[in-house]
Amino acid sequence: MKVAVVGATGMVGNIMMNVLKERNFPFSELIMVASERSVGKKLSFDGIDYDVVGLHTALDMKPDLALFSAGGDTSLEWAPRFAEVGTIVVDNSSVWRMNPANKLVVPEINGKALTVHDKVIANPNCSTIQLVLALKPLHEKYGAKRVVVSTYQSITGTGVKATSQLENERNRTEGEMAYPYPIDKNCLPHCDDFTDNGYTKEEMKLTRETKKILDEAINVTATAVRVPVVGGHSESVNVEFENDFDLTEVRQLLHNQEGITLKDDPTTNTYPMPMYAEGKDDVFVGRIRRDESQANTLNMWVVSDNLRKGAATNAVQIAELLVEKNILKTAGING
């Protein structure tokens, strides 16, 4: 099996390769793909030096699987071209997510729906993935009606330019700005571009993607905030249910949910934090409590490493499902 990582020189692309190795994903050939300005460079991975190739070269190599993390414009143009030569594409951009013809997949929730007909599969937004994974068992049991979510998002969601800005500010050096304001010692209620309705694209992704993945009937409203954190995204989540709930049962449902780690004991100051989630693949949930201002309503705090489960790991888990369902053929291959 030939596996191409498109955007291999980026933050998510690099982690995708690490996750492929960590999870022992079966491949016979790894193709490092990046923009033309990176073609010819060497990338060292698992003790082997790889030549970075461009999209045209990678397309001619006809990989079996392509993990895309190279931006929306690249995905819009190139994902269909790879699909045409028989490649299955798992795309981390937003361009295919709301297309009715493309599945939007969190493996623990709707991965079973994947079929041989799915050629371009959308990886959800990082903030959406952790939100829907925490909501899934509770929605199935109690019926979620309305979700109010406020995010506290890591600068790594913006990329290398943002991490450089934070480092420059802390070192008091001049440099290129990823944001319109300083991020160190600050919070920006501004993730992605603003839209005509006053919400940002990030906030609307949380709304629309949650509906597509879980249930169109769930009403979702969001405020997305960028914070000077590196380790992961945090979310304050308020959920109104159709039916009342028992907090002990809520904790048990979350504990039993694949991909969730429960960290919820106020008596020992046990709750999720980005510094704990960084480098891990689970979604962490804590601060579980009843909203005393409204019936059938729950508050919880949800944290996840946005570069791993929020991007790279979820994409590789989708690929693993394709292997498990025999959509990607691995016979005779030793990864």
Q: DSSP labels for 156-201?
A: GGT-HHHHHHHHHHHHT-----SSSS--TT--BS--S-B-TTS-BH
**CA separation, residue 154 to residues 66, 120, 275, 278, 310 (Å):** 26, 28, 11, 11, 11
Q: Where are the alpha helices (DSSP H) in 64-185?
A: 72-84, 107-110, 126-142, 160-171
Per-residue pLDDT tens digits for 44-76? 988 899 999 999 999 999 999 999 999 999 999
Task: Count the neighbouring beta carbons within 10 Å of the beta carbon of residue 21.
Answer: 14
Q: Which of 56, 139, 233, 255 is catalytic?
A: 233
Extract the tokens encoding 317: 């888990």
Per-residue pLDDT tens digits for 269-294? 999 999 999 999 999 999 999 999 99
Give the Cα separation of 278 and 128 in Å (integer).
17
Q: Per-residue pLDDT for 90 more than 50?
A: yes
Give the Cα separation of 167 and 180 in Å (integer).
16
Smallest Cα–Cα separation from 264: which of 276, 275, 251? 251
Please tell me the predicted confidence (pLDDT) of residue 98.
98
Phi and psi of 81, rounded to 5°?
-70, -40
Q: Per-residue pLDDT for 301 more than 60?
A: yes
Instruction: Compute the mean pLDDT over every residue in the chain, rounded to the nearest whole number.
Output: 96
Radius of gyration of the chain (CA): 20
Q: Which of 56, 117, 126, 187 is catalytic?
A: 126
The DSSP letter of residue 8 is: T
Q: Per-residue pLDDT for 42 more than 60?
A: yes
Please tell me the predicted confidence (pLDDT) of residue 331.
40
Q: Which H or E run includes 216?
A: none
Please tell me the predicted confidence (pLDDT) of residue 131.
98
Give the Cα separation of 85 and 134 in Å (integer).
37
Extract the tokens encoding 200: 């940002």
Per-residue pLDDT tens digits for 145-204? 999 999 999 999 999 999 999 999 999 999 999 999 999 999 999 999 999 999 999 999
Q: Which residues of 219-245 are buried (b: 16+ CB within 10 A; e: fewer)?
A: ebebbbbbbbbebbbbbbbbbbbeeeb
Please tell me the predicted confidence (pLDDT) of residue 329.
77
Smallest Cα–Cα separation from 133: which of 204, 213, 207, 67? 213
Catalytic, 187? Answer: no
First-last CA distance in the chain: 9
Residue scoring higher pLDDT (329 or 154): 154
Confidence bin at 332 (pLDDT 50/70/90): very low
Please tell me the predicted confidence (pLDDT) of residue 30.
95
Instruction: Using alpha carbons only, give the angle 37, 93, 193 rounded to the nearest 5 degrees.
Output: 95
Give the Cα separation of 90 and 241 in Å (integer).
33
Please tell me the predicted confidence (pLDDT) of residue 68.
98
**CA separation, residue 126 to residues 12, 123, 145, 161, 289 (Å):** 11, 9, 22, 18, 24
Please tell me the predicted confidence (pLDDT) of residue 330.
61
Q: What residue has token string 């371009």?
A: 120
Smallest Cα–Cα separation from 110: which of 85, 82, 88, 139? 139
Q: Per-residue pLDDT for 306 more than 70?
A: yes
Give the Cα separation of 129 and 132 in Å (integer).
6
Per-residue pLDDT tens digits for 123-136? 999 999 999 999 99
Domains in the chain and their CATH numbers?
Answer: 2-123+311-324 (3.40.50.720), 127-304 (3.30.360.10)
Percent of the chain with pLDDT over 90: 95
